[in-house]
Amino acid sequence: MVIGVSLAAWFWLIPTFAGGSGEQTIMPRLAVALVGVLGLLLLVVSLWRERRPAGGHDPFDPTDDPFLEVDGEGEPPRLLLIIAVWSVILAFPAFFGLHLGNAIGIALTFVILGIVNPVTVLLWSILPIAALHAVFAYGFSLRLPYGHLIGLLTG
C-alpha cells in the first residue's frame, strides 16, 4: 500500500499538482522517494523476519507493547502521556517555537520512556534540532520560528 501510494505520487500526483517538473518538485520527490524506500524496507523486513521458535517469545506480538504497559496503579499508559506532551507542544507553536518545542518534547519523551541519563537526553534533544537548524538556515536559507518562550527565557 505504501509503495503503491508513493508510486502514484511520483508518477501522477507530483507532475499533475506540483507544477510538472523542475525546482518546485524537488522536495516532494525527495519525500516520496523516502516514503517509497521505507515502504520497501518494511516489505523486506516483513518477508525476512525471523519466525519465533516453538515456545519462544514473539517479538512481533501485538499484545506485548511497552508503550501500552501500565506500571503502577492509576498510571496512564506511556503512549497517552507521549501523545499529550506532543499535542501541547504542537498546539502552541507560536509559544514554544520549533527549536525549543522539539527539544522539550524529545526530552520529555525520553523521560516518559524511562531514559533518564542526562547526557543521552541532552544529546538527543539538542543534536537533531541543531542539525535541522543547520539544514534549513544554511542549506535552504530559511529561518525557522523561534516562539515567545525563547523571548521570555532570554529576557
Rounded CA-CA distance 38/143 in Å is 29
User: Which of 3-7, 14-18, 45-49, 145-149 shows the highest mean pLDDT?
Assistant: 3-7
- Give the pLDDT confidence score for residue 106 in this predicted structure: 92
Task: Name the residue type at position 143.
Answer: R
Q: Does 22 have pLDDT greater than 90?
A: no
> What's the rounded mean pLDDT across residues 3-20?
83
List of residues 6+ apart from 93 with CB closer than 8 A: 101, 145, 147
Task: Please tell me which residue, 105 or 60, carries the higher pLDDT value.
Answer: 105
Q: Which of 102, 87, 111, 105 is nearest to 132 (CA)?
A: 102
DSSP code of 133?
H
Task: Please tell me which residue, 48 or 125, carries the higher pLDDT value.
Answer: 125
What residues does each domain of the chain span?
2-48, 67-154
Rounded CA-CA distance 60/63 in Å is 9
Per-residue pLDDT reduced to its tens digit, 97-115: 888 888 999 999 999 888 8
Per-residue pLDDT reduced to its tens digit, 32-53: 999 999 999 988 877 776 655 5
